[in-house]
Chain A
Amino acid sequence: QSVLTQPPSASGTPGQRVTISCSGSSSNIGSNTVNWYQQLPGTAPKLLFYSNDLRPSGVPDRFSGSKSGTSASLAISGLQSEDEADYYCAAWDDSLNGQVFGGGTKLAVL
């Protein structure tokens, strides 16, 4: 059972816009910023977003992040086949003193 809650799967066709939700609690998302990770098959996770909506260099602006209260979401517009991956939300948790993760959402590009 993950600390943060995400839908297990999402899908879309090329060019579509897809959103992935993430919910937490007052000790994590409610009081800290949200980070998102992308994990391509067979590889280590990669930081996709930090501080809710900031992209590290190299991440296309087709990706966007937002947060409201104890929830957050990741949006991908202009969906491409290479976006097929697992996406994890995460946030610092004040009670655990570490970053906790959502269960992950497997994105399929149909």
Chain B
Amino acid sequence: EVQLVESGGGLVQPGGSLRLSCAASGFTVSSNYMSWVRQAPGKGLEWVSILYSGGFTYYAGSVKGRFTISRDNSKNTLYLQMNSLRAEDAAVYYCARDSINYDFSTETFYYYGMDVWGQGTTVTVSS
């Protein structure tokens, strides 16, 4: 069964750090694009970061320079290292698999959305 399970959330003080984990089963993290998405209490979804299968990483402006996305191929796990946490970073953090296809003959990238989501892990930032 294809599944994502997040862990590592919790209560942290402003300025503190936290590392979130996302364990995958049923598919290989390193062969896929993988994203983190967050949802602040009562708010909408916000894309946070993406890790390409080729290793490229990109971040939303709100977290750039503070968050780092990575993976451990041996553990088939995605991570999000969060430093210098602020009150506005408090949210449920979801990891998700990005469904993509690249047509090498036409050099066209096709994006089909996030087709697998974890259940989310809650990060609370408060003193």
Instruction: Using C-beta atoms within 8 Å of the partner chain, give the interface range for chain A.
Output: 20 to 34
Q: Are B45 and A98 in contact (CB under 8 A)?
A: no
How far, in angstroms, from A47 to B35 measured CA to CA in the complex? 14
Q: Are A47 and B118 in contact (CB under 8 A)?
A: no
A54 nearest in chain B by CB position: B112
Q: Is the interface of B mostly helix, strand, loop or mixed?
A: strand
Q: Are A44 and B44 in contact (CB under 8 A)?
A: no
Q: A73 an interface residue at 8 Å Cβ cutoff? A: no
Q: Are B47 and A44 in contact (CB under 8 A)?
A: no
- A-B contacts at CB below 8 angstroms, number: 72
Contact indicator per residue, chain A 76-110, by CB within 8 Å of chain B (1) or not (0): 00000000001010101000111111111000000
What is the interface size of chain B, counting residues whose CB is below 8 A from a CB of the partner? 24
Given A96-B58, A97-B50, A98-B60, A47-B45 contact (CB < 8 Å): no
- Which residues of A pack against B, CB within 8 Å? 2, 32-33, 35, 37, 39, 44-47, 49-51, 56, 86, 88, 90, 92, 96-104
